[in-house]
Protein backbone atom coordinates (compact mmCIF):
# COMPACT_ATOMS: atom_id res chain seq x y z
CA UNK A 1 0.00 0.00 0.00
CA UNK A 2 1.33 3.45 -0.89
CA UNK A 3 2.23 5.68 2.02
CA UNK A 4 -0.31 8.28 0.89
CA UNK A 5 -3.11 5.72 1.20
CA UNK A 6 -1.86 4.63 4.62
CA UNK A 7 -1.90 8.24 5.79
CA UNK A 8 -5.39 8.79 4.39
CA UNK A 9 -6.68 5.74 6.25
CA UNK A 10 -5.15 6.88 9.55
CA UNK A 11 -6.72 10.30 9.16
CA UNK A 12 -10.05 8.68 8.38
CA UNK A 13 -9.69 6.58 11.54
CA UNK A 14 -9.00 9.73 13.53
CA UNK A 15 -12.06 11.45 12.04
CA UNK A 16 -14.16 8.43 12.92
CA UNK A 17 -12.95 8.56 16.52
CA UNK A 18 -14.17 12.15 16.73
CA UNK A 19 -17.47 11.26 15.05
CA UNK A 20 -17.94 8.52 17.66
CA UNK A 21 -18.52 11.24 20.25
CA UNK A 22 -21.95 11.73 18.70
CA UNK A 23 -22.83 8.07 19.31
CA UNK A 24 -22.37 8.28 23.08
CA UNK A 25 -25.41 8.46 25.33
CA UNK A 26 -26.01 11.31 25.63
CA UNK A 27 -23.99 12.42 22.61
CA UNK A 28 -21.09 14.85 22.87
CA UNK A 29 -21.63 17.58 20.31
CA UNK A 30 -18.51 19.21 18.95
CA UNK A 31 -19.45 22.74 17.82
CA UNK A 32 -18.79 23.98 14.30
CA UNK A 33 -15.47 25.75 13.95
CA UNK A 34 -14.00 27.87 11.14
CA UNK A 35 -12.24 26.09 8.29
CA UNK A 36 -8.50 25.89 8.67
CA UNK A 37 -7.93 28.56 6.01
CA UNK A 38 -10.16 30.96 7.96
CA UNK A 39 -8.57 30.46 11.37
CA UNK A 40 -6.71 33.35 13.02
CA UNK A 41 -3.24 32.94 14.44
CA UNK A 42 -4.48 32.70 18.03
CA UNK A 43 -7.07 29.92 18.36
CA UNK A 44 -7.07 29.26 22.10
CA UNK A 45 -9.99 31.62 22.71
CA UNK A 46 -12.01 30.12 19.85
CA UNK A 47 -11.73 26.71 21.49
CA UNK A 48 -12.51 28.06 24.94
CA UNK A 49 -15.57 29.96 23.76
CA UNK A 50 -16.99 26.74 22.26
CA UNK A 51 -17.46 25.26 25.75
CA UNK A 52 -20.06 25.69 28.44
CA UNK A 53 -19.11 27.44 31.67
CA UNK A 54 -19.15 24.10 33.46
CA UNK A 55 -16.86 22.49 30.85
CA UNK A 56 -14.42 25.39 31.11
CA UNK A 57 -14.43 25.13 34.88
CA UNK A 58 -13.60 21.43 34.80
CA UNK A 59 -10.94 21.46 32.11
CA UNK A 60 -9.09 24.47 33.49
CA UNK A 61 -8.58 23.02 36.95
CA UNK A 62 -5.12 21.71 37.74
CA UNK A 63 -4.71 17.94 38.17
CA UNK A 64 -4.40 18.01 41.96
CA UNK A 65 -7.48 20.19 42.42
CA UNK A 66 -9.41 18.08 39.94
CA UNK A 67 -8.73 14.78 41.72
CA UNK A 68 -9.71 16.44 45.01
CA UNK A 69 -13.00 17.58 43.47
CA UNK A 70 -13.62 14.11 42.03
CA UNK A 71 -13.00 12.46 45.40
CA UNK A 72 -15.47 14.86 47.02
CA UNK A 73 -18.04 14.14 44.25
CA UNK A 74 -18.13 17.74 43.10
CA UNK A 75 -17.95 16.18 39.64
CA UNK A 76 -18.42 12.63 38.44
CA UNK A 77 -15.70 10.91 36.49
CA UNK A 78 -18.08 10.62 33.53
CA UNK A 79 -18.75 14.36 33.55
CA UNK A 80 -15.04 15.17 33.70
CA UNK A 81 -14.17 12.68 30.97
CA UNK A 82 -16.87 14.02 28.66
CA UNK A 83 -15.61 17.59 29.18
CA UNK A 84 -12.04 16.62 28.29
CA UNK A 85 -13.14 14.54 25.29
CA UNK A 86 -15.01 17.54 23.94
CA UNK A 87 -12.15 19.96 24.54
CA UNK A 88 -9.67 17.50 23.01
CA UNK A 89 -11.83 17.23 19.89
CA UNK A 90 -11.87 21.02 19.61
CA UNK A 91 -8.11 21.18 20.17
CA UNK A 92 -7.61 18.59 17.43
CA UNK A 93 -9.54 20.66 14.92
CA UNK A 94 -7.65 23.83 15.79
CA UNK A 95 -4.08 22.55 16.22
CA UNK A 96 -3.95 19.03 14.69
CA UNK A 97 -2.70 17.57 17.97
CA UNK A 98 -4.24 14.08 18.25
CA UNK A 99 -4.01 10.75 16.43
CA UNK A 100 -7.28 9.45 17.89
CA UNK A 101 -9.85 9.97 20.61
CA UNK A 102 -10.86 7.04 22.81
CA UNK A 103 -14.48 7.83 23.70
CA UNK A 104 -15.86 4.33 24.36
CA UNK A 105 -12.80 3.20 26.29
CA UNK A 106 -12.74 6.39 28.35
CA UNK A 107 -16.45 6.52 29.20
CA UNK A 108 -16.54 2.85 30.17
CA UNK A 109 -13.59 3.43 32.49
CA UNK A 110 -15.18 6.57 33.96
CA UNK A 111 -18.44 4.74 34.64
CA UNK A 112 -16.58 2.00 36.49
CA UNK A 113 -14.77 4.58 38.60
CA UNK A 114 -18.02 6.32 39.51
CA UNK A 115 -19.50 2.95 40.47
CA UNK A 116 -16.46 2.17 42.64
CA UNK A 117 -16.74 5.49 44.48
CA UNK A 118 -20.47 5.04 44.97
CA UNK A 119 -20.12 1.52 46.37
CA UNK A 120 -17.04 1.99 48.56
CA UNK A 121 -17.16 5.69 49.39
CA UNK A 122 -13.46 5.89 48.53
CA UNK A 123 -11.57 6.86 45.37
CA UNK A 124 -9.70 4.06 43.62
CA UNK A 125 -6.38 5.85 44.02
CA UNK A 126 -4.61 9.22 43.86
CA UNK A 127 -5.59 9.75 40.21
CA UNK A 128 -9.22 8.65 40.59
CA UNK A 129 -11.14 9.86 37.54
CA UNK A 130 -8.32 12.04 36.16
CA UNK A 131 -8.15 12.09 32.34
CA UNK A 132 -4.58 11.61 31.12
CA UNK A 133 -3.45 12.01 27.52
CA UNK A 134 -0.81 9.77 25.94
CA UNK A 135 1.78 10.34 23.23
CA UNK A 136 1.06 7.78 20.51
CA UNK A 137 4.30 5.78 20.57
CA UNK A 138 3.63 4.89 24.21
CA UNK A 139 1.81 1.62 23.70
CA UNK A 140 -1.87 1.24 24.58
CA UNK A 141 -3.06 -2.35 24.40
CA UNK A 142 -4.91 -3.28 21.18
CA UNK A 143 -4.23 0.10 19.59
CA UNK A 144 -2.00 1.13 16.68
CA UNK A 145 1.64 1.73 17.52
CA UNK A 146 3.26 3.39 14.49
CA UNK A 147 5.67 5.87 16.12
CA UNK A 148 5.11 8.30 13.26
CA UNK A 149 6.17 5.95 10.44
CA UNK A 150 3.71 5.07 7.68
CA UNK A 151 5.14 1.56 7.32
CA UNK A 152 4.54 0.83 10.99
CA UNK A 153 0.82 1.50 10.82
CA UNK A 154 -0.95 -1.73 11.64
CA UNK A 155 1.48 -2.66 14.41
CA UNK A 156 -0.80 -3.33 17.36
CA UNK A 157 0.35 -3.00 20.95
CA UNK A 158 0.09 -6.32 22.74
CA UNK A 159 0.11 -4.67 26.17
CA UNK A 160 -0.01 -1.30 27.82
CA UNK A 161 3.33 0.45 28.12
CA UNK A 162 4.92 0.06 31.54
CA UNK A 163 4.37 3.73 32.42
CA UNK A 164 0.60 3.37 31.96
CA UNK A 165 -0.08 0.57 34.45
CA UNK A 166 0.67 2.54 37.64
CA UNK A 167 -1.35 5.47 36.28
CA UNK A 168 -4.29 3.20 35.46
CA UNK A 169 -4.09 1.40 38.79
CA UNK A 170 -4.20 4.81 40.50
CA UNK A 171 -7.48 5.64 38.75
CA UNK A 172 -6.47 7.45 35.55
CA UNK A 173 -8.74 7.61 32.50
CA UNK A 174 -6.98 7.37 29.10
CA UNK A 175 -9.03 9.30 26.55
CA UNK A 176 -6.80 10.62 23.74
CA UNK A 177 -3.55 9.81 21.98
CA UNK A 178 -1.39 12.58 20.60
CA UNK A 179 0.79 13.31 17.61
CA UNK A 180 4.53 12.87 17.25
CA UNK A 181 6.93 13.56 14.36
CA UNK A 182 8.45 11.23 11.85
CA UNK A 183 11.53 9.59 13.46
CA UNK A 184 10.59 11.00 16.91
CA UNK A 185 13.75 13.07 16.48
CA UNK A 186 12.45 16.56 15.78
CA UNK A 187 11.84 19.61 17.94
CA UNK A 188 8.60 20.10 16.06
CA UNK A 189 5.81 17.64 15.27
CA UNK A 190 5.46 16.90 11.57
CA UNK A 191 4.73 13.56 9.95
CA UNK A 192 3.51 12.22 6.64
CA UNK A 193 0.68 10.57 8.53
CA UNK A 194 -0.93 13.62 10.11
CA UNK A 195 0.91 16.73 8.93
CA UNK A 196 1.99 19.55 11.24
CA UNK A 197 0.87 20.20 14.80
CA UNK A 198 0.83 23.92 15.60
CA UNK A 199 0.91 26.22 18.61
CA UNK A 200 -2.58 27.31 19.76
CA UNK A 201 -1.37 30.82 20.59
CA UNK A 202 0.15 31.38 17.16
CA UNK A 203 -0.61 28.85 14.43
CA UNK A 204 2.32 30.09 12.35
CA UNK A 205 4.58 28.52 14.95
CA UNK A 206 5.47 24.97 15.95
CA UNK A 207 4.01 23.20 18.95
CA UNK A 208 7.46 21.73 19.53
CA UNK A 209 8.51 18.14 19.46
CA UNK A 210 8.63 15.34 19.67
CA UNK A 211 5.80 15.42 22.24
CA UNK A 212 4.23 18.29 20.31
CA UNK A 213 0.76 16.78 20.28
CA UNK A 214 0.85 16.71 24.07
CA UNK A 215 2.08 20.29 24.05
CA UNK A 216 -0.65 21.68 21.80
CA UNK A 217 -3.38 19.68 23.54
CA UNK A 218 -2.25 20.92 26.94
CA UNK A 219 -1.93 24.46 25.63
CA UNK A 220 -5.55 24.27 24.48
CA UNK A 221 -6.47 22.87 27.92
CA UNK A 222 -7.68 19.69 26.26
CA UNK A 223 -5.44 17.90 28.78
CA UNK A 224 -4.29 18.89 32.25
CA UNK A 225 -1.77 16.04 32.55
CA UNK A 226 -0.15 14.08 29.77
CA UNK A 227 2.64 11.58 29.13
CA UNK A 228 5.54 12.49 26.85
CA UNK A 229 9.07 11.29 26.18
CA UNK A 230 12.40 13.10 25.86
CA UNK A 231 15.77 12.27 24.33
CA UNK A 232 16.86 15.77 23.27
CA UNK A 233 14.18 18.17 24.47
CA UNK A 234 10.99 16.37 23.47
CA UNK A 235 9.09 17.16 26.69
CA UNK A 236 10.64 20.54 27.39
CA UNK A 237 10.29 22.05 23.91
CA UNK A 238 6.51 21.41 23.73
CA UNK A 239 6.04 22.57 27.31
CA UNK A 240 7.80 25.87 26.63
CA UNK A 241 6.12 26.40 23.26
CA UNK A 242 2.63 25.99 24.71
CA UNK A 243 2.82 27.61 28.13
CA UNK A 244 3.00 24.38 30.11
CA UNK A 245 5.05 22.75 32.82
CA UNK A 246 7.14 19.76 31.83
CA UNK A 247 9.69 17.52 33.51
CA UNK A 248 12.53 15.60 31.92
CA UNK A 249 13.34 13.18 34.78
CA UNK A 250 16.65 11.48 35.42
CA UNK A 251 16.87 8.30 33.37
CA UNK A 252 16.12 4.91 34.91
CA UNK A 253 13.63 6.36 37.40
CA UNK A 254 10.48 5.72 35.35
CA UNK A 255 9.75 2.59 33.30
CA UNK A 256 10.22 2.74 29.51
CA UNK A 257 8.88 -0.67 28.43
CA UNK A 258 6.18 -1.06 25.79
CA UNK A 259 7.12 1.95 23.66
CA UNK A 260 7.65 1.95 19.91
CA UNK A 261 10.73 3.57 18.37
CA UNK A 262 13.80 2.83 16.33
CA UNK A 263 17.04 2.03 18.13
CA UNK A 264 15.30 0.42 21.11
CA UNK A 265 17.91 -0.86 23.52
CA UNK A 266 20.46 1.87 22.80
CA UNK A 267 22.29 2.81 25.99
CA UNK A 268 24.54 5.64 24.83
CA UNK A 269 21.89 8.37 25.14
CA UNK A 270 18.87 7.08 27.04
CA UNK A 271 15.37 8.44 26.42
CA UNK A 272 13.06 9.13 29.34
CA UNK A 273 9.32 9.29 29.86
CA UNK A 274 7.81 12.14 31.85
CA UNK A 275 4.85 14.47 32.44
CA UNK A 276 3.52 17.65 30.87
CA UNK A 277 0.94 19.57 32.90
CA UNK A 278 -1.01 22.79 32.93
CA UNK A 279 -0.07 23.29 36.59
CA UNK A 280 3.17 22.74 38.49
CA UNK A 281 1.75 20.31 41.12
CA UNK A 282 0.80 17.97 38.28
CA UNK A 283 4.46 17.08 37.76
CA UNK A 284 4.92 15.87 41.34
CA UNK A 285 1.56 14.10 41.28
CA UNK A 286 2.66 12.13 38.23
CA UNK A 287 6.08 11.24 39.62
CA UNK A 288 4.88 10.31 43.09
CA UNK A 289 2.08 8.13 41.71
CA UNK A 290 4.31 6.15 39.37
CA UNK A 291 7.14 5.72 41.88
CA UNK A 292 4.73 4.68 44.64
CA UNK A 293 4.10 1.54 42.57
CA UNK A 294 7.78 0.55 42.97
CA UNK A 295 8.32 -0.04 39.24
CA UNK A 296 11.87 -1.26 39.91
CA UNK A 297 10.34 -4.51 41.16
CA UNK A 298 9.24 -5.16 37.57
CA UNK A 299 11.94 -3.41 35.53
CA UNK A 300 15.39 -4.36 36.87
CA UNK A 301 17.00 -1.45 35.00
CA UNK A 302 15.30 1.11 37.23
CA UNK A 303 17.03 2.66 40.21
CA UNK A 304 14.99 1.91 43.37
CA UNK A 305 14.53 5.50 44.51
CA UNK A 306 11.04 6.43 45.73
CA UNK A 307 9.65 9.94 45.30
CA UNK A 308 11.36 11.88 48.10
CA UNK A 309 9.16 14.91 48.72
CA UNK A 310 8.60 14.34 52.43
CA UNK A 311 11.74 16.22 53.46
CA UNK A 312 12.73 19.66 52.21
CA UNK A 313 16.01 20.35 50.44
CA UNK A 314 15.66 23.92 51.70
CA UNK A 315 14.58 23.49 55.35
CA UNK A 316 13.85 26.26 57.82
CA UNK A 317 16.58 27.11 60.30
CA UNK A 318 15.25 26.30 63.76
CA UNK A 319 16.98 29.37 65.25
CA UNK A 320 16.41 32.06 62.64
CA UNK A 321 13.20 30.67 61.17
CA UNK A 322 14.60 31.36 57.71
CA UNK A 323 14.70 28.93 54.83
CA UNK A 324 18.04 27.69 53.54
CA UNK A 325 18.91 29.89 50.58
CA UNK A 326 18.34 28.51 47.10
CA UNK A 327 21.57 29.09 45.18
CA UNK A 328 20.71 29.53 41.52
CA UNK A 329 23.16 29.56 38.64
CA UNK A 330 21.99 31.62 35.67
CA UNK A 331 23.02 30.72 32.13
CA UNK A 332 21.80 33.44 29.77
CA UNK A 333 23.67 32.07 26.76
CA UNK A 334 25.45 28.80 26.04
CA UNK A 335 28.23 30.43 24.03
CA UNK A 336 26.97 29.00 20.74
CA UNK A 337 23.61 30.72 20.11
CA UNK A 338 22.33 33.90 21.76
CA UNK A 339 18.61 33.49 22.53
CA UNK A 340 16.08 35.90 21.06
CA UNK A 341 15.02 38.97 23.11
CA UNK A 342 11.88 37.44 24.73
CA UNK A 343 13.98 34.69 26.30
CA UNK A 344 16.73 36.93 27.65
CA UNK A 345 14.09 39.38 28.88
CA UNK A 346 12.30 36.57 30.71
CA UNK A 347 15.51 35.50 32.41
CA UNK A 348 16.27 39.07 33.45
CA UNK A 349 12.76 39.54 34.82
CA UNK A 350 12.85 36.31 36.84
CA UNK A 351 16.30 37.06 38.20
CA UNK A 352 15.29 40.64 38.99
CA UNK A 353 12.31 39.49 41.04
CA UNK A 354 14.37 36.88 42.88
CA UNK A 355 17.02 39.46 43.78
CA UNK A 356 14.30 41.24 45.76
CA UNK A 357 14.55 38.36 48.27
CA UNK A 358 18.28 38.14 49.08
CA UNK A 359 17.53 36.21 52.27
CA UNK A 360 15.96 33.41 50.17
CA UNK A 361 17.93 33.34 46.92
CA UNK A 362 21.57 33.65 45.94
CA UNK A 363 22.12 34.33 42.25
CA UNK A 364 25.40 33.53 40.49
CA UNK A 365 26.31 33.70 36.83
CA UNK A 366 27.07 30.49 34.95
CA UNK A 367 29.39 30.96 31.99
CA UNK A 368 29.02 28.06 29.56
CA UNK A 369 31.80 27.32 27.08
CA UNK A 370 31.43 23.61 26.29
CA UNK A 371 28.00 23.48 24.64
CA UNK A 372 29.43 23.05 21.14
CA UNK A 373 31.39 20.01 22.27
CA UNK A 374 28.29 18.65 24.00
CA UNK A 375 26.37 18.75 20.73
CA UNK A 376 29.19 17.07 18.84
CA UNK A 377 29.18 14.22 21.36
CA UNK A 378 25.44 13.70 21.66
CA UNK A 379 24.73 13.97 17.93
CA UNK A 380 27.42 11.36 17.32
CA UNK A 381 25.69 9.04 19.80
CA UNK A 382 22.08 9.51 18.63
CA UNK A 383 22.45 7.33 15.51
CA UNK A 384 25.29 4.90 16.10
CA UNK A 385 24.03 2.84 13.14
CA UNK A 386 24.32 5.83 10.82
CA UNK A 387 20.56 6.27 10.82
CA UNK A 388 19.92 2.95 9.06
CA UNK A 389 16.89 2.02 11.20
CA UNK A 390 15.32 5.43 10.59
CA UNK A 391 15.84 5.29 6.85
CA UNK A 392 14.68 1.69 6.64
CA UNK A 393 11.45 2.54 8.46
CA UNK A 394 10.77 5.35 5.99
CA UNK A 395 11.83 3.35 2.95
CA UNK A 396 9.52 0.45 3.84
CA UNK A 397 6.50 2.50 2.69
CA UNK A 398 8.31 4.87 0.36
CA UNK A 399 7.44 7.88 2.46
CA UNK A 400 9.85 10.79 2.00
CA UNK A 401 12.10 11.96 4.78
CA UNK A 402 10.78 15.28 6.03
CA UNK A 403 13.25 18.21 6.14
CA UNK A 404 13.88 18.12 9.89
CA UNK A 405 14.29 14.34 9.82
CA UNK A 406 16.88 14.75 7.07
CA UNK A 407 18.56 17.56 8.99
CA UNK A 408 19.15 15.57 12.16
CA UNK A 409 20.24 12.47 10.24
CA UNK A 410 22.88 14.45 8.36
CA UNK A 411 24.45 16.34 11.26
CA UNK A 412 28.24 16.45 10.79
CA UNK A 413 29.00 14.05 13.63
CA UNK A 414 26.38 11.46 12.66
CA UNK A 415 28.32 8.60 11.04
CA UNK A 416 27.59 7.35 7.57
CA UNK A 417 25.92 3.92 7.35
CA UNK A 418 26.65 1.33 8.61
CA UNK A 419 27.58 3.50 11.57
CA UNK A 420 30.36 3.63 14.13
CA UNK A 421 32.89 0.89 14.47
CA UNK A 422 33.07 -0.60 17.95
CA UNK A 423 36.32 1.26 18.56
CA UNK A 424 34.75 4.58 17.52
CA UNK A 425 31.71 4.01 19.70
CA UNK A 426 33.89 3.26 22.72
CA UNK A 427 35.92 6.40 22.04
CA UNK A 428 32.89 8.70 21.79
CA UNK A 429 31.29 7.11 24.84
CA UNK A 430 34.51 7.86 26.68
CA UNK A 431 34.23 11.49 25.55
CA UNK A 432 30.69 11.55 26.95
CA UNK A 433 31.87 10.27 30.31
CA UNK A 434 34.78 12.71 30.45
CA UNK A 435 32.41 15.58 29.63
CA UNK A 436 30.12 14.51 32.46
CA UNK A 437 33.00 14.42 34.91
CA UNK A 438 34.19 17.91 33.96
CA UNK A 439 30.71 19.37 34.14
CA UNK A 440 30.01 17.83 37.53
CA UNK A 441 33.26 19.26 38.87
CA UNK A 442 32.25 22.73 37.65
CA UNK A 443 28.79 22.36 39.21
CA UNK A 444 30.17 21.26 42.58
CA UNK A 445 32.76 24.03 42.60
CA UNK A 446 30.04 26.63 41.97
CA UNK A 447 27.96 25.32 44.86
CA UNK A 448 24.68 25.90 43.04
CA UNK A 449 21.50 24.01 43.85
CA UNK A 450 19.85 24.48 40.45
CA UNK A 451 20.57 26.24 37.18
CA UNK A 452 18.20 28.58 35.31
CA UNK A 453 18.58 28.70 31.54
CA UNK A 454 16.70 29.01 28.23
CA UNK A 455 14.79 26.10 26.76
CA UNK A 456 15.83 27.05 23.25
CA UNK A 457 17.28 29.83 21.11
CA UNK A 458 13.87 31.48 20.95
CA UNK A 459 10.21 30.90 21.64
CA UNK A 460 8.09 28.49 19.59
CA UNK A 461 9.86 28.56 16.21
CA UNK A 462 8.38 29.00 12.78
CA UNK A 463 7.53 25.67 11.21
CA UNK A 464 10.55 23.92 9.78
CA UNK A 465 13.15 26.02 11.59
CA UNK A 466 13.75 24.15 14.90
CA UNK A 467 17.39 23.28 14.23
CA UNK A 468 19.19 24.10 17.47
CA UNK A 469 18.82 21.58 20.28
CA UNK A 470 21.74 22.72 22.40
CA UNK A 471 19.81 24.21 25.30
CA UNK A 472 17.90 20.97 25.91
CA UNK A 473 20.17 18.22 24.55
CA UNK A 474 22.97 19.31 26.89
CA UNK A 475 20.98 17.98 29.84
CA UNK A 476 20.23 14.71 28.04
CA UNK A 477 23.96 14.23 27.53
CA UNK A 478 24.52 14.87 31.24
CA UNK A 479 21.33 13.02 32.27
CA UNK A 480 20.26 15.90 34.52
CA UNK A 481 16.60 16.45 35.42
CA UNK A 482 15.12 19.62 33.97
CA UNK A 483 11.74 21.28 34.52
CA UNK A 484 10.18 23.85 32.21
CA UNK A 485 7.85 26.57 33.46
CA UNK A 486 5.99 29.41 31.70
CA UNK A 487 6.97 33.03 32.35
CA UNK A 488 4.96 35.13 29.92
CA UNK A 489 4.36 35.77 26.24
CA UNK A 490 6.01 37.69 23.42
CA UNK A 491 4.63 41.21 23.35
CA UNK A 492 5.40 44.76 22.30
CA UNK A 493 8.10 44.98 24.98
CA UNK A 494 10.16 42.66 22.76
CA UNK A 495 9.87 44.80 19.62
CA UNK A 496 12.84 47.06 20.29
CA UNK A 497 16.02 46.81 18.28
CA UNK A 498 18.15 43.77 19.09
CA UNK A 499 21.70 44.75 19.95
CA UNK A 500 23.19 41.30 19.33
CA UNK A 501 24.83 41.79 15.92
CA UNK A 502 28.04 39.76 16.06
CA UNK A 503 27.26 36.05 15.60
CA UNK A 504 28.83 33.63 18.04
CA UNK A 505 28.75 30.86 15.41
CA UNK A 506 27.23 29.96 12.07
CA UNK A 507 24.22 28.57 13.95
CA UNK A 508 23.89 31.87 15.79
CA UNK A 509 23.98 33.73 12.47
CA UNK A 510 20.99 31.71 11.29
CA UNK A 511 19.17 32.31 14.58
CA UNK A 512 19.66 36.07 14.23
CA UNK A 513 18.00 35.90 10.81
CA UNK A 514 14.97 34.19 12.36
CA UNK A 515 14.23 37.07 14.73
CA UNK A 516 11.21 39.08 13.62
CA UNK A 517 9.04 40.13 16.59
CA UNK A 518 5.80 40.26 14.62
CA UNK A 519 6.20 36.59 13.67
CA UNK A 520 6.23 35.52 17.31
CA UNK A 521 3.62 37.79 18.85
CA UNK A 522 1.53 35.94 21.43
CA UNK A 523 3.90 32.99 21.70
CA UNK A 524 4.52 31.67 25.24
CA UNK A 525 7.94 32.11 26.80
CA UNK A 526 9.26 29.29 28.95
CA UNK A 527 12.43 28.80 30.96
CA UNK A 528 14.18 25.72 32.29
CA UNK A 529 15.37 24.83 35.79
CA UNK A 530 18.00 22.10 35.94
CA UNK A 531 19.44 20.02 38.76
CA UNK A 532 22.09 17.38 39.20
CA UNK A 533 21.40 13.76 38.35
CA UNK A 534 18.70 12.25 40.62
CA UNK A 535 17.85 15.69 42.03
CA UNK A 536 14.40 15.58 40.40
CA UNK A 537 12.59 16.35 43.66
CA UNK A 538 14.98 19.19 44.47
CA UNK A 539 14.36 20.80 41.09
CA UNK A 540 10.60 20.80 41.57
CA UNK A 541 10.87 22.05 45.14
CA UNK A 542 13.12 24.89 44.03
CA UNK A 543 10.75 25.71 41.20
CA UNK A 544 7.82 25.78 43.60
CA UNK A 545 9.73 28.23 45.84
CA UNK A 546 10.72 30.38 42.86
CA UNK A 547 7.20 30.44 41.48
CA UNK A 548 5.90 31.51 44.86
CA UNK A 549 7.89 34.69 44.34
CA UNK A 550 7.47 35.36 40.61
CA UNK A 551 3.77 34.42 40.48
CA UNK A 552 1.88 33.01 37.50
CA UNK A 553 2.52 35.44 34.64
CA UNK A 554 1.20 33.10 31.97
CA UNK A 555 -2.27 32.78 33.47
CA UNK A 556 -3.62 35.93 31.80
CA UNK A 557 -2.14 35.03 28.42
CA UNK A 558 -4.51 32.13 27.91
CA UNK A 559 -7.66 34.04 28.81
Average pLDDT for 333-352? 97
Q: What is the pLDDT of residue 18?
A: 98
CA dist., res. 228 & res. 232, Å (int): 12
**Buried b or exposed e, range 220-235, using 16+ CB within 10 angstroms:** bbbbbbbbbbbbbbbb
- Residue 308 lies inside a defined structural domain of this protein: no
- The predicted-structure confidence for 304-315, as pLDDT tens digits, reads as follows 999 999 889 998
Q: Which helix (H) or strand (E) holds 227?
A: strand 225-230
In this structure, the answer to whether residues 256 and 361 fall within a common structural domain is no
Bridge partners (DSSP) listed for residue 527: 454, 485
List b or e across 49-80, with b for residues whose CB sees 16 or more CB atoms inside 10 angstroms: ebbeeebbebbbbbbbebbebbbeeebbbbbb
* Domain co-membership, 50 together with 117: yes
Q: Average pLDDT in the 426-454 region?
A: 98
Say what the pLDDT of residue 552 is.
67
Same domain, 274 and 389: no
Q: What is the DSSP letter of 339?
A: P
pLDDT at residue number 497: 80
Say whether both 382 and 283 belong to one domain.
Answer: no
Q: Is 293 annotated as a binding residue?
A: no
Average pLDDT over every residue of 384-392: 97
365 and 458 in a single domain? The answer is yes
**Same domain, yes or no, for 416 and 488?**
yes
The rounded percent of the chain whose pLDDT value lies above 70 is 99
Q: Percent of the chain, pLDDT > 90?
A: 93
Rounded mean pLDDT of the chain? 96
Please give the average per-residue pLDDT across 159-183, as a whole number.
Answer: 98
Give kind and range of the element (H or E) at residue 510: helix 506-514
Predicted local distance difference test score (pLDDT) of residue 269: 97
Residues 188 and 293 in one domain: yes
Q: Is the domain of 334 the same as that of 219?
A: no
Q: H/E element holding 537?
A: helix 536-550
Q: Consult the annotation and say whether 210 binds a ligand.
A: yes
321 lies in a domain? no
- CATH number assigned to the domain comprising residue 196: 3.90.1300.10
- 337 & 246 share domain: no
Instruction: Give the confidence band of 556 by pLDDT, cuts at 50, 70, 90.
Output: very low
Does 217 appear as a known binding residue? no
Domain end call among 276, 297, 318 = 297
pLDDT at residue 311, rounded to an integer: 87
Please answer whether residues 187 and 466 qualify as being in contact, where contact means their C-beta atoms are separated by less than 8 angstroms.
Answer: yes
Whether pLDDT at 320 is above 90: no
Q: 131 — alpha (psi -120 to 50), left (phi > 0) or beta?
A: beta
Position 96 scores a pLDDT of: 98
487-491 average pLDDT score: 93
How many structural domains compose the chain? 2
Note whether 399 and 269 are same-domain residues.
no
**How high is the pLDDT of residue 553?**
62
- How far, in Å, CA of 235 to CA of 18, rounded? 26
pLDDT band at 554 (very low <50, low <70, confident <90, very high): low
Band of pLDDT at residue 318, cut at 50, 70 and 90:
confident
Is residue 309 domain-resident?
A: no
10-61 pLDDT per residue, tens? 999 999 999 999 999 999 999 999 998 899 999 999 999 999 999 999 999 9
Q: Which pLDDT belongs to residue 496? A: 85
- Please indicate, yes or no, if residue 334 is contained in any of the structural domains: yes
Residue 557 has pLDDT above 50, yes or no: no
Average pLDDT over every residue of 422-435: 98
Q: Answer whether 169's CB lies under 8 Å from 293's CB.
A: yes
> What sign for the dihedral angle of Cα 180, 181, 183, 187?
negative
Residues with catalytic annotation?
A: 135, 210, 234
Question: Do 343 and 467 reside in the same domain of the chain?
Answer: yes
Contacts of 297 (CB under 8 A, 6+ apart): none
What does DSSP assign to residue 184? Answer: G
Domain co-membership, 91 together with 214 = yes
Query: Looking at the whole model, is its pTM more than 0.85?
Result: yes
More confident residue, 559 or 537: 537
Is residue 559 scored above 60 in pLDDT?
A: no
Please indicate, yes or no, if residue 303 is contained in any of the structural domains: no
Instruction: pLDDT band for 319, please (50, 70, 90 cuts).
Output: confident
pLDDT tens string 368-382? 999 999 999 999 999
319, part of any domain: no
Q: Is residue 21 part of a domain?
A: yes
Phi-psi region of 367 (alpha: psi -120 to 50; beta: other; left: phi over 0): beta
Whether 46 is in a domain gets the answer yes
Tell me the mean pLDDT in the region 223-246.
98
233 among annotated binding-site residues? yes
265-282 average pLDDT score: 96
The parent domain of residue 84 ranges over: 3-297
Compute the average pLDDT of residues 473-492. Answer: 96
Q: Are residues 271 and 230 in contact, defined by beta-carbon separation less than 8 angstroms?
A: yes
Amino acid sequence: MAWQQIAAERRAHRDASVAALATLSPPITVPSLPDEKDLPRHVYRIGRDALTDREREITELGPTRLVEALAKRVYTSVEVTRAFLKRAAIALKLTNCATELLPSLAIERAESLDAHLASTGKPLGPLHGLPISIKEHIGLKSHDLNAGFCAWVGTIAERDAAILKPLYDAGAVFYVRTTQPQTLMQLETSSNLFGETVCPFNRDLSSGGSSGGEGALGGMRGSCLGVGTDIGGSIRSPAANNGLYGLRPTSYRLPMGGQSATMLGAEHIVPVVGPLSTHLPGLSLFMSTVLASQPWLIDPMLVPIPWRDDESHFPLNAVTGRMKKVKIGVMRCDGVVMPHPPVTRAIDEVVGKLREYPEEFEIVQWEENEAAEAWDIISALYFVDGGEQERSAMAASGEPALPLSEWILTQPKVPKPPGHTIDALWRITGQRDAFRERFLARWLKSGIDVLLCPVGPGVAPRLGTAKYWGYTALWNLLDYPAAVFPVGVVGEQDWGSWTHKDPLSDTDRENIKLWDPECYIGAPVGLQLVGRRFDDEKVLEALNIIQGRIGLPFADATA
